[in-house]
Structures are given as C-alpha cells and as structure tokens.
Amino acid sequence: MGECSRQFRLVINNTAQAFPPIAGVYLITDQGDNLVERVRTALVGGVSALQYRAKDKSRETLLEEGRALKQLCKRAGVVFIVNDDIHLARELDADGVHLGQDDGGIAQAREILGSGRIVGKSTHDLDEAFQAEREGADYIGFGAMYPTDSKVVSHMPGTGGLAAIRDRIKLPVVAIGGITTSNACRVIDAGADAVAVISSVLSSHRPDIAVAELKLLFNRTCPYPRGSVLTVAGSDSGGGAGIQADIKTITLLGSYAASALTALTAQNTRGVSSIHGLPPSFVVDQIATVLADIPVDVIKTGMLHTAAIVSALAELLTERTVYIPLVIDPVMVSKGGTTLLDRDSIRVVLDQLLPHAYLLTPNIPEAERLLGRAIRSEADMEQAARDLHALGPANVLLKGGHLTGRQSIDILFDGYECREYAAERAFTSNTHGTGCTYASAIAAFLAQGEPLRCAVEKAKEYITDAIRLSHPLGKGHSPVNHFAAAQHGDRQP
C-alpha cells in the first residue's frame, strides 16, 4: 500500500537529513506562462521533487519566480531543487541543486551551498554514474530514455541502459527524457526510482491528474497487497453487490480494501425490501478517518443514496489538498428495479461530484438518466461518452451490456479518443453486482500501478469471467463469481 518503490535515506556529509527520498514524480519546470499556478496544481497530484529550470530570464525574474516556487514546495513538503545554477540555489535557499556534466563539481556545490543540501548529477552511462557516486552525489539523473523536445539529446541509453546500471548503482536513479504516462511503465520496470517529467504534466489540461497517474504507476513495484482502495457504497445483505462485492473484488485481485458505508439495505437476489440511509456527517467521518491514517491510492464510489451524502462527499473532496483518483460508479437502480438514487441526487451528482471524477463508469440506463436521452447503438454510446466527459469527468467508460448483439462492447473516452473493449456476451441472469465488481476491479488495477487503458482491459476480462463462471444462487438475479474469476488465468496475486 502507499508509496513502496525503492526507498533511500539521503545522507549528506554523514548527517541524516529530513528530506523525503528522491522517488516518484520529479517535476522539471518549463518556460511557459503562468508557471507558478501550473506548478501549484501539479503539486496537488503528488509531486515528490521540483526542479526549477529557467532559461533566458532576468535575475530579478528568477528570484521572484524561484521564491514563489520554493514557498509552494515548502507548504507541500516537496523537495525544491535548482537546475545548474549553484549561486541561484544558494540565493533561493533551495534544498539542493542539480548539475549537468559541464556544470561544475559536486564538491564545489557543497562548498557554496553549505552542508545539508541535496546535489544531483546528470549521467548518461555507467562510467558517469560511477563517477557521480564516487564524488558524493545524492542521486543521479540518467538518460535520455526517449527523444524529447525540451533539449537536444546527444545520449540516449534508453530503458535498456537503465536496466543495465540499476543493480550496480546504490544511489536513487531519476530517469529523464521524453517520459509520459504512456511509456513510464517501461521506465519504472527498468528500475527508475523517479521519473523526470516536464510537458506531460505542465502542458496537461489537468496537471494534478497527470501527476497522480504517474505516481500510481510506481505501485507496480510494491508487494501484495498492492495499492489500496477506499470504497464508499451501500451494504448489500445478500453479498452479491454493494460494498460486499467491492471488498471481495479488491481483496481477491490483490489490493487492500477500506470502506465507508452510505446505507444499509435488506436485499437478496430477488430485490431490495428496505433501505436505511446513514447520516451524511457519519459517512464523511468514516471517509475522513480512513484518509487521515491509511494511504489510499484510489477512491471508488457506488450507491451514495441521497443528495446530502453526495454533496458532503463533494465538499470533502474539494477541501483536500492531495488529489486521489476517484472512480464513480453512478449506482441509481438495483437489479430488481429499486431506485437507489433519486432525481434530486442525480442533479447534485452532475453539478458537484462529476468534476471530481477521474473515471465515470455508467451503464446505458444510467447514462440515459444522466443525459436525459435514449442510447440505442454503439454510435449513440460514443457520442454519449463524449457528452458525459463534457460534464466534468477526466475519463468516461460507458458500458454496453444493455445493448443486444453477440458482443458486449464498452467505450472508454479520455477526452481525446474513444477506445472499445469487447467481450463475448454471456446470456445469463447471473449478473447481480456486475457494475460494482467492474468498477472495483478497475480501481484495484489502477491502485496496483496499471495505466487506465490497461486497468480497464484487465477489469473487463475479470468481469467477463466472473459472469461466465457464475452459478445459480437464490431465486432471482444470481451474483457473479468473484472468487472463480480471480483464480482464472494469471490473476492470482
């Protein structure tokens, strides 16, 4: 759970320092406008270190901008490092400096900055890495991994070069050069302790989400249970859906499950006989108490029951200073037809909660209620996914199980393109808990360090198997088979 990539304790001049380890997302500034505000947003996503890299700016501008960035980092508990300029680092009282191969020696930097400061060094091969280690660097930058537009790349050892030096270097390794959410997994798998990024974060419409996505990828190096998910949902006394299905799924797939109840239901496979909602203040207290202690990687919501609970949850998320990806399964109606979210609550979901969503996962009836129109074809689904995205979620997965046809097709829209996920349709009534299970599986795989597209693909395979391997249980809509699906193939952690 939480951050568990290779952990290093910085020891500078033989004195242990209070700096966090150089690990995770190492953000380097660009030359664009509104830098301070963009960095402010990025820090919310979970940046571990910020490197101030400025070109062609006056000394006055460097000091003003640098001081603003230093203050942001101090409040966020983020290491603040100046690129190349040792004297600027001293004037800004930076936590350290990062040196290129031609920017002076490590000993000189320590003499100017004084004791207790971090000094990093750019390297391109094993010899340079060994040299930096001998000279007393606290970490090395290594690359380039891929071509980049930020500078001319003359050395590109790539992930192969990184893997070759990883076990021979004791220092934290920051991989640099052309790293994005699309290729960062390969870099982390090759042994990077941190990834240096610029445009993939600072040019993003949502820098906080871009950072959070990269940060989660480092969980792929964790032992099991890998990553943690907080599910906020109603209880299903029959055990097939709701918070019970969430916890089963998250646990069986190898993540840690925490929970916050919104309502108690008396139900079985035939339907819901009664609902007892919990006070919104108690729902929020459950969530806040968990978040104050347990390092939650992803929050997943199911049945939220009332407008007051939805509003209270949205307010709590607004007040948080650290972004946690939120997967919203907009549970509205039970399999037996009982309304689980009234019309007033739907409006609050649209206005207050959807803008917080990392991923929204409606089925077709839910999407129709959110949009107020019918969805009858795959073309309708694609347009609906785009329209739902315009309401605020960063990503939308529209599930097509309610359409007819040989295949069940889901559509993921990330704001740029649509991607289809298809599976052979199983003609069975054993589908109780399908939506809860699918969304929880996605949340678990995200928490384990899978990129969104891969997380959805793996979750689609899991829910397809859970339906296919289900057995009749009870006299109504039987639940999916969480256990058998988790045992199938190579899913067992």
Q: pLDDT digits over 326-381, tens only?
A: 999 998 876 666 677 777 788 999 999 999 999 999 999 999 999 999 999 999 99
CATH number of the domain located at residue range(s) 11-221 in this protein = 3.20.20.70
d(CA 84, CA 88): 9
This prediction's pTM: 0.94
The full length of the chain comes to: 493
- 162, 175 in Cβ contact below 8 A? yes
At how many degrees (to 10) do helices 364-371 and 378-389 cross? 50
Query: What is the sign, positive or negative, of the torsion defined by CA atoms of 248, 249, 250, 252?
Result: positive
What integer pLDDT is reported at residue 252 of this predicted model?
A: 97
Annotated active-site residue 248? The verdict is: no
What integer pLDDT is reported at residue 14 of this predicted model?
A: 36
| Residue in 159, 231, 431, 437 annotated catalytic | 431
Query: Which amino acid type is present at position 202?
Result: L
> Kindly report the CA angle at 417 between 195 and 409, in degrees rounded to 5?
110
395-398 vs 407-413, strand pairing mode? antiparallel
381 DSSP β-pair partners: none
Query: What is the sign, positive or negative, of the torsion defined by CA atoms of 291, 297, 303, 307?
Result: positive
Annotated active-site residue 454? The verdict is: no
260 DSSP β-pair partners: 232
What integer pLDDT is reported at residue 332 of this predicted model?
A: 82
Annotated active-site residue 57? The verdict is: no
Annotated active-site residue 433? The verdict is: yes
Show me where the domains of the chain are located: 11-221, 228-487
d(CA 52, CA 69): 8
d(CA 308, CA 352): 11
Residue given tokens 């940060």 in the structure block: 215
What integer pLDDT is reported at residue 6 of this predicted model?
A: 45
**CA–CA distance from 383 to each of 380, 397, 418 (Å)?**
5, 12, 10
Annotated active-site residue 431? The verdict is: yes
What integer pLDDT is reported at residue 10 of this predicted model?
A: 46
| Residue in 222, 248, 361, 436 annotated catalytic | 436
**Phi/psi of residue 199, nearest 5 degrees:** -65, -30
| Residue in 399, 401, 437, 460 annotated catalytic | 399
**Phi/psi of residue 482, nearest 5 degrees:** -60, -45
Annotated active-site residue 180? The verdict is: no
**293-327 pLDDT tens trace:** 999 999 999 999 999 999 999 999 999 999 999 99
What integer pLDDT is reported at residue 8 of this predicted model?
A: 43
SS3 360: strand
Residue given tokens 């069986």 in the structure block: 252
The CATH architecture to which 228-487 belongs is 3-Layer(aba) Sandwich (3.40)
Residues lower than pLDDT 70 in the chain: 1-18, 150-154, 334-338, 491
